[in-house]
Amino acid sequence: MVLYSTLNPTRFGVYSCAFGSLFMEEKYPFNQIEPKWQKFWTDHKVFKVDTAVHEKKYYCLTMFPYPSGTMHVGHGRNYIIGDAVTRYKMVRGFRVLSPMGWDAFGLPAENAAKQRGVHPKEWTYSNIKQMKRQLESWGIGYDWDREIATCHPDYYKWTQWVFLKLHERGLAYRKNAPVNWCEYCTTLANEEVLADGTCERCGRKVVKKDLTQWFFKITEYAGQLLDDLSLLEKWPEKVRTMQGNWIGRSVGARIDFTIAETGDPCPVFTTRPDTIYGVTFMALAPEHPLVAKLLKNNPRAAAIQAFVEKEKMGSAADRTDNTTKKEGVFTGFHIRNPYNGDLAPLWITNYVLMEYGTGAVMAVPAHDQRDFEFAKTYDLPIKVVIQNPAAALNAATLTEAYVEDGVMVNSAPFDGRGNREALHDMIQHAQDHGFGEFTTHYRIRDWLISRQRYWGAPIPIVHCPDCGVVPVPEKELPVLLPDDVDFKTERGNPLSYHEEFIQTACPKCGKPARRETDTLAQWLCSCWYYLRYVNPRLNTQAYKKEDVDYWLPVDQYIGGIEHAVLHLLYSRFILKVLHDADTCSFREPFNALFTQGMICKRSEKDGQLYKMSKSKGNVVSPDELIREYGADTVRLYTLFIGPPEKDAEWNDAAVEGSFRFLRRIWRRVYETRDTLLASKGLKPDLAKMETPDRDLYRKLHESIAKITHDLEGAFQFNTAIAQIMELMNAVEALKLDATSSDQRKAVMLETMESLIVLISPFAPHVAEELWQELGHPPSILAAPWPEVNRNALARDEIEIVIQLCGKIRSRETIPTSLSPKEIEAHVLALDSVKNIIEGLTVRKVVVVPGKLVNIVAT
């Protein structure tokens, strides 16, 4: 027994010839073969790709992780699936780009710094080291020469460049936005504010504060992002639906109402201009800019102000909860309906949102449920303008709004028309008369990308007293994040106290100016990383157009469903901008998307099933399992656990089953190796095989067909592995030794060699070792994927089912050579079948060749 540590790694090339059976012992020595092959893959740069070479490419990308510390087996599923795809495609002869990196900016690093005094950089890089070790111990194959970390200046230089591209194109702008503000922790997300209005982390009081912040105009691309979803045929329907909902297109019209008393315009957005003759009041959001004007010299000012203040103080959650009671206050003013000149009262209400549409709603209580509820509360008039053709509506007796289609009434020139049919003409009418137009509105808002945080890429902007907001020129990038900041004593964003960082010269006029101290949202770093992997060390550009045009879109993107909307939508947006800036020629970053389910485990505390997480205390560490069973077992079990797109429950006991299976393969090769090696050169010959060998040979080729199918279509690793298990069961049913027939030996050799290749994407270490044991030079990644021999699939006889009126009555073995007519005659002539139909009249016989015969008899 020679230990791995005594081997000279440079001799791996000739290893198979010189020391073929080095580890070949009865016990499955996973703890020796796994490090050996991991080292082999690393030393020989097996996963290295030269992206300058353009030939039969496949870009397989697994979402890169946030380096939070150590990973559990739930994280592993993502990488194991990606690696199975990568290795499968490599064996199929593709040049596969499979890179990995780190989404390394973000809040946890900064919190660690504040709490424990570790610098975010140190914390992040030490986590990266840990997690990289874990990925390697799983045997995941990456081209590590392409490793990137978004917190590295060589990377974020180009994140800043992406920002400049958007700025150049007018897509980055500043505006005021209210934020939750904690003086110590700076801006907080809604979920970081506790119910009592204090900060989740430090317990201090949180206040609303108006801050000028940077936004990206994703709304400008809303239509394209929505329309192009239809191009993403290889994305899960679910994700496309979610993105569609998120973007939320509403097609309708802008109609310009005016305030009768002041003449002020008051435009509204509506999807139902067909109900415009039914407007009986107008509803404004409390934040509507007209409100201030309406207060002047208004005898109702006090009541109005009280209502508006009350609503502004209320939480966003209360405001947008549709069970909240609808309330409002009359302004004393009226609006004029441009279609008929009618006047209607102007109210301020709590159910209209300033963020959507124009912040003003034309209220039609007869045909909108919310307006109806409000009208009932305040006893406002209700006017039916769409008649229900089935049962006439009466405004006085309505109990809810009628929102269905119908015939227009009380609508002057449009009376008698179907409301849907008249819609276009009604908007056209407004457009012709200059008081409205066709408009489309989107639910999606612009993307807030500035963060009042240290651990992010500085926004490359300088504020000059003379020139205003000036972008840092590309040649001066990166704007480096200083290391020497104090996390202990400073409040808020440490960068905003760092005078050396802040003080600079204006790039335009050269006079003293101040740097922007906000940093870019972590999201932006991960919006373009898939491009950088193609040219990760290029220091003159973010990427080469020629290379990304060849390698992208990503052929297969693999990640968690939790990124269905934000990461994937933002990435699509950024890519579209980079396309429009002529830096690449494709419009979508990810051709196919696969979202794997989460791994859950029952909590020992309450017995409930939860997603694995440290806080729930239900994590399973891969490190221990790898020590006990090996990485191949963990990989095989993870893939076998169930359909990869569905959530799965981790079962410690079931891991053992995968281990036993690998050990069975190992033992079989151990026991038959000499015979197999001596059988080289023997070829299976269908004409000469005895039945058991013939059956195994068929099983082998059925398995090749099934497994190939399972890997080519959806990622059905679980059924592919089940098929390998079936094949192995069939192998073990047949003895093999030196005295076996030549055909037995030939079939066994082909079967074992194929089986090892078939399992190699899932359990690569043991596959490499056994492949070598059977006399092949490494690596198995260079082996050909087995091909289906159609002749091997043929059968002379087959068992079919005999049904009487759809109920199974017997099973019969019949020759496969019979035509459907012959099958019918053959079956009806059988004694067993005669018994079944005795005394009955056969009405019909359904023959499904190879499956069944159904006799309909009464």
Enumerate residues 615-644 that contact RNA by CB under 7 A. 640-643
Side chain identity at residue 825, one-letter code: A
Residue ranges with strand state E in 805-841: 807-815
Q: How far apart are CA 692 and CA 303, in angstroms?
A: 93
Query: Is residue 30 a contact partner of residue 632, using CB atoms and an 8 Å limit?
Result: yes
Residues 530-549 that bind RNA (CB under 7 A): none
Q: How far apart are CA 743 and CA 372, in angstroms?
A: 83
Among residues 58, 351, 551, 666, the one that binds RNA under rule CB under 7 A: 351
Query: Is residue 611 a contact partner of residue 56, using CB atoms and an 8 Å limit?
Result: no
Residue nearer to RNA on the CB measure, 443 or 776: 443
Q: How far apart are CA 777 and CA 795, in angstroms?
A: 36
Query: Is residue 138 a contact partner of residue 634, using CB atoms and an 8 Å limit?
Result: yes
Residue nearer to RNA on the CB measure, 423 or 746: 423
- Going by their DSSP bridges, the two strands 450-451 and 519-520 should be labelled as antiparallel
What is the smallest separation between the CB atom of 678 and RNA, expressed in angstroms?
25
Q: How far apart are CA 159 and CA 164, in angstroms?
A: 9
What is the smallest separation between the CB atom of 695 and RNA, expressed in angstroms?
14
Q: How far apart are CA 140 and CA 631, in angstroms?
A: 10
What is the smallest separation between the CB atom of 229 and RNA, expressed in angstroms?
13
* Exposure string over 499-519, b if 16+ CB within 10 A, otherwise e: eebbebebbeeeeebbbbbbb
Query: What interhelical angle do 30-43 and 622-629 show, nearest 10?
Result: 110
Residues 253-272 that bind RNA (CB under 7 A): 268-272
Query: Is residue 718 a contact partner of residue 641, using CB atoms and an 8 Å limit?
Result: yes
Residue nearer to RNA on the CB measure, 488 or 844: 844
Residues 560-619 that bind RNA (CB under 7 A): 561, 565
Residue nearer to RNA on the CB measure, 294 or 639: 639
Q: Which stretch binds RNA (CB under 7 A): 155-163, 213-221, 722-730, 751-759?
A: 722-730
Confirm or reject binding of residue 803 to RNA (CB under 7 A): yes
What are the phi and psi torsion angles at 604 (to 5°)? -75, -20
Residue nearer to RNA on the CB measure, 475 or 807: 807
CB atoms within 10 A of CB 298: 15
| CA atoms within 13 Å, Cβ hemisphere of 418 | 4
Structure-block tokens of residue 403: 């929102």
Structure-block tokens of residue 402: 């009628």
Q: Which stretch binds RNA (CB under 7 A): 45-53, 354-362, 697-705, 750-758?
A: 354-362
**Helices assigned H by DSSP within 248-368:** 290-295, 301-313, 316-319
Q: How far apart are CA 520 and CA 505, in angstroms?
A: 21
Residues 828-847 that bind RNA (CB under 7 A): 844, 846
What is the smallest separation between the CB atom of 92 and RNA, expressed in angstroms?
21
Residues 637-676 that bind RNA (CB under 7 A): 640-643, 646-649, 651, 653-654, 656-658, 660-661, 663-664
Among residues 431, 719, 741, 789, the one that binds RNA under rule CB under 7 A: 719
Among residues 46, 199, 352, 462, the one that binds RNA under rule CB under 7 A: 352
Residues 70-109 that bind RNA (CB under 7 A): none
Q: Which stretch binds RNA (CB under 7 A): 61-69, 208-216, 324-332, 756-764?
A: 324-332
**Residue 3: is it exposed, middle or buried by C-beta count within 10 angstroms (0-12/13-18/19+)?**
exposed
Side chain identity at residue 140, one-letter code: I
Confirm or reject binding of residue 362 to RNA (CB under 7 A): yes
Confirm or reject binding of residue 161 to RNA (CB under 7 A): no
Query: Is residue 618 a contact partner of residue 602, using CB atoms and an 8 Å limit?
Result: yes
Confirm or reject binding of residue 692 to RNA (CB under 7 A): no
Q: How far apart are CA 625 and CA 76, in angstroms?
A: 12
Max Cα separation, the chain? 110
What is the smallest separation between the CB atom of 438 and RNA, expressed in angstroms?
13
Residue nearer to RNA on the CB measure, 6 or 813: 813
Residues 730-759 that bind RNA (CB under 7 A): 732
Query: Is residue 809 a contact partner of residue 830, using CB atoms and an 8 Å limit?
Result: no
Compute how many residues bind RNA; rule: CB under 7 A.
83
Among residues 357, 406, 589, 786, the one that binds RNA under rule CB under 7 A: 357
Among residues 17, 799, 834, 835, the one that binds RNA under rule CB under 7 A: 799
What is the smallest separation between the CB atom of 368 and RNA, expressed in angstroms?
6
Confirm or reject binding of residue 332 to RNA (CB under 7 A): no
Residues 697-716 that bind RNA (CB under 7 A): 716
Confirm or reject binding of residue 241 to RNA (CB under 7 A): yes
Residues 383-442 that bind RNA (CB under 7 A): 441
Confirm or reject binding of residue 16 to RNA (CB under 7 A): no
Residue nearer to RNA on the CB measure, 542 or 634: 634
Q: How far apart are CA 520 and CA 796, in angstroms?
A: 69
Q: Which residues pair with 505 in a beta bridge?
A: 512
Residues 268-307 that bind RNA (CB under 7 A): 268-272, 285
What is the smallest separation between the CB atom of 21 and RNA, expressed in angstroms?
21
Among residues 45, 56, 204, 238, the one that binds RNA under rule CB under 7 A: 238
Query: Is residue 777 a contact partner of residue 827, using CB atoms and an 8 Å limit?
Result: no
Q: How far apart are CA 132 and CA 126, in angstroms?
A: 10
**CA triple 428-429-432, angle to 5 deg:** 85
What is the smallest separation between the CB atom of 641 and RNA, expressed in angstroms?
5
Confirm or reject binding of residue 686 to RNA (CB under 7 A): no
What is the smallest separation between the CB atom of 836 and RNA, expressed in angstroms?
9
Residues 367-386 that bind RNA (CB under 7 A): 368, 370
Nearest CA-CA partner of 182 in 156, 204, 166, 150: 204
Residue nearer to RNA on the CB measure, 57 or 664: 664
Query: Is residue 588 a contact partner of residue 231, using CB atoms and an 8 Å limit?
Result: yes
Q: How far apart are the first and last CA of the chain?
A: 74
Among residues 95, 152, 300, 443, the one that binds RNA under rule CB under 7 A: 443
What are the phi and psi torsion angles at 623 (to 5°)? -60, -45
Confirm or reject binding of residue 19 to RNA (CB under 7 A): no
Binding mask 196-235 for RNA (x = CB under 7 A): ----------------------------------------
Residue nearer to RNA on the CB measure, 67 or 365: 365
What is the smallest separation between the CB atom of 568 and RNA, expressed in angstroms?
13
Residue nearer to RNA on the CB measure, 270 or 452: 270
Peptide bond before residue 178 is cis, with ω within 30 degrees of 0: no
What is the smallest separation between the CB atom of 704 and RNA, expressed in angstroms?
16
Confirm or reject binding of residue 132 to RNA (CB under 7 A): no
Query: Is residue 436 a contact partner of residue 253, using CB atoms and an 8 Å limit?
Result: yes
What is the smallest separation between the CB atom of 651 and RNA, expressed in angstroms?
6
Residue nearer to RNA on the CB measure, 578 or 759: 759
Residue nearer to RNA on the CB measure, 521 or 599: 599
Among residues 807, 831, 839, 858, the one that binds RNA under rule CB under 7 A: 807
Among residues 202, 302, 306, 848, the one that binds RNA under rule CB under 7 A: 848
Confirm or reject binding of residue 457 to RNA (CB under 7 A): no
Among residues 189, 805, 840, 842, the one that binds RNA under rule CB under 7 A: 805
DSSP 607: -
Residue nearer to RNA on the CB measure, 100 or 766: 766
Region class of 510: left (phi > 0), else alpha (psi between -120 and 50), else beta: left
**Residue 595: is it exposed, middle or buried by C-beta count within 10 angstroms (0-12/13-18/19+)?**
buried
Confirm or reject binding of residue 319 to RNA (CB under 7 A): yes
Query: Is residue 370 a contact partner of residue 362, using CB atoms and an 8 Å limit?
Result: no
